Chains A and B, each alone.
Chain A
């Protein structure tokens, strides 16, 4: 759906290119997370997709079209754009904010109004309550939701999101991430998501592109990046606790031994993560846990040994 080939950008007065011959592809319906240290070129790359920044070399294809040969205004109207500070128009109501792109495209008023209400419901905000309010009346979390709704208004196939949840407190952020994942499950947009938070990347991304100094270092699923970091930089970047991060991607149910093994006095649900299981084993000072299903029925056991095995050879098993 999105293809970057040899994408390069140099800024005047800078010794090295901000983006250096970047090549990667994002499949339709996938979320690609761009992540890396400050100055790695992640935001610059994202902003070249909708030509807010013009590339110096290389090509960008969206849905088979080379975007450098398309009118940038028309291009941007077909791509959803969410930035960290959101940039809601303070002089317009929430409804008018969301209706921006449909109005630019000339939708008729009725269709636009219906779409606005539909989107407010999608982001869990009561249309009758919020449609006519102004941005200054909303909290940070609410504004961010409106920002997402506004970007989805004209139903673009592609979304660009630059640290959209960065300016929010951690609790609200977790909630918004969850909601966006829910929305993505329904809508299956092709998303390019920029963040500096590795936990967010692991949570949100189908594939993660790790960038450094404008170059692509590794581009793979979260599991692979955690299990097989391509180089020392990636290892350091994902954090020394990458083993724990990996465990949080695996479920107890997939690793429990169905019969036998020692049954223990301590239980854990099959839908919990291996990371939770490890925590329980440490707290309770136990060697194994009894695994139960949602109804409370015992379905097997999970030992510390089993968790060790999971760490060393987990690729063949199901993932959370």
Chain B
């Protein structure tokens, strides 16, 4: 059966490459967008106690929403295809990154911040030299969680015409063709494990030596 799946892949390289490409670009774009929005927002919110708590509560609610529901809700609003999938996946990736950024910055020892300000660092310098380096491990843990959820969610994008490896899975189920299903299921599982490992490694690499 695996052999059949492999043969199918070899027989349809362009199709597979396209699906893989769409899947990866959807995932990367959603993750990047989420990071671009959530990290600056998270840093700003972390400095305001009331805002931080409200944001964390909202994000926690966002986290519980079934991914398929979020993708499905995008369709009546934005149609089918790449864009609605991207929007939905970005929304799915936002909560873990936002929560981790806020928590990561807030849990920095306040005495360290006081010393930094007292020595004459401006707000921007405190952010650049102290807060971000110290919050990086926690932020990357959030990116790691988000990455896995996005890769998993991108599989479901097939239902709203977003493409990706989910196409093979649904085609396989529809036609009861097992090899076809595997052509989708196995690579995407590897992709997910790979993303998890990649961000885990990035997290370790970027953690300042003094904190390890």
B residues 136-166 with Cβ under 8 Å of A? none
Chain B binding surface, main DSSP class: helix
Tell me whether B178 is interfacial, beta carbon within 8 Å: no
Of all chain B residues, which has the CB nearest A94? B210
Interface bits B85-107 vs A (CB < 8 Å: 1, else 0): 00000000000000000000000
Query: Chain B interface (Cβ within 8 Å of chain A)?
Result: 109, 111-122, 125, 129-130, 133-134, 208-211
A135 touches B210 (CB 8 A): yes
Contact of B112 among A74, A76, A89 (CB under 8 A): A89
In the complex with contacts A73-B122, A74-B120, A104-B125, A87-B211 CB distance below 8 A:
no
Closest 4 CB pairs of A and B: A87-B115, A77-B120, A91-B208, A76-B120
- Known A90-B134, A91-B133, A104-B119; 14 more pairs at CB < 8 Å: A74-B120, A77-B119, A81-B115, A81-B118, A83-B111, A83-B114, A83-B115, A86-B111, A89-B130, A90-B112, A91-B134, A101-B119, A135-B210, A150-B119
A88 CB to closest chain B CB (Å) equals 7
Within 8 A of B (CB), among A58-102: 73-78, 81, 83, 85-93, 100-101
| Most central of A75, A85, A135, A151 by chain B CB within 10 Å | A85
Bound: A74/B205 CA distance, A: 35
The verdict on A180 contacting chain B, using a C-beta distance below 8 Å, is no
A143 CB to closest chain B CB (Å) equals 11
Which residues 132-187 of A sit at the B interface, judged by CB distance below 8 A? 134-136, 150-151, 160
B59, chain A: closest CB distance, angstroms: 26
- Bound-state CA distance A73–B122 (Å) is 6
Return the chain A residue nearest B121 by Cβ.
A104
Judge whether A87 and B114 touch: CB under 8 Å: yes
Inter-subunit contact B114/A52 (CB<8 Å): yes
Which residues on the A side are within 8 Å of B125 (C-beta)?
A: 104
Q: A76-B120, A83-B114, A83-B118 are in contact. Are A134 and B109 (CB under 8 A)?
A: no
Q: List 5 A-B contacts (CB under 8 A).
A: A73-B120, A74-B120, A75-B120, A77-B120, A89-B115
Q: How far is the CA of A77 from the CA of B120 in the complex (A)?
A: 5
Chain A residues lying within 8 Å of B120, measured Cβ to Cβ, are: 73-78, 101, 104
**Within 8 Å CB of A76, what residues of B?**
117-120
- Which residue from chain B places its CB closest to the CB of A47 in the assembled complex? B118
Q: Is the CB of B210 within 8 A of A134?
A: yes
Bound CA–CA A136/B109 (angstroms) = 14
Q: How many whole Å from A65's CB to the nearest CB in chain B?
A: 15
Q: Which residue of B is nearest A80, CB measured?
A: B119
Most buried by B among A50, A81, A88, A89: A89
**For A78, what are the chain B residues with a Cβ–Cβ distance below 8 Å?**
120
Shortest beta-carbon distance from A71 to chain B in Å:
10
CA distance A73 to B56 in the complex (A): 32
Closest chain A residue, CB of each to CB of B133: A91
Give Cα distance in the complex from A91 to B125, angstroms.
Answer: 15
Q: Which residues of B contact A91 (CB under 8 A)?
A: 133-134, 208-211
**Cα of A56 to Cα of B129 in the assembled complex, Å:** 31
Residue among A100, A101, A136, A151 with most chain B CB within 10 A: A100
- Whole-angstrom distance between the alpha carbons of A83 and B211 in the complex? 22
Partner of A92, one of B113, B118, B210: B210
Nearest chain B residue, comparing its CB with the CB of A134 = B210
A318 to B79, CA, bound (A): 92
**CA gap between A27 and B118 in the complex, in Å:** 23
Considering residues A52, A73, A88, A91, which has the most beta carbons from chain B within 10 angstroms of its beta carbon? A91
When distances are taken between beta carbons in the complex, the residues of chain B under 8 Å from A93 are 210
Give B130's nearest chain A residue, CB to CB.
Answer: A89
Report whether A86 and B115 are in contact in the complex, using a CB–CB cutoff of 8 Å: yes
Distance between Cα atoms of A90 and B212 in the complex (Å): 10
Complex interface: chain B residues within 8 A of A100 (CB):
119, 121
B111 touches A85 (CB 8 A): yes
Cα A104 to Cα B124 in complex, Å, equals: 12
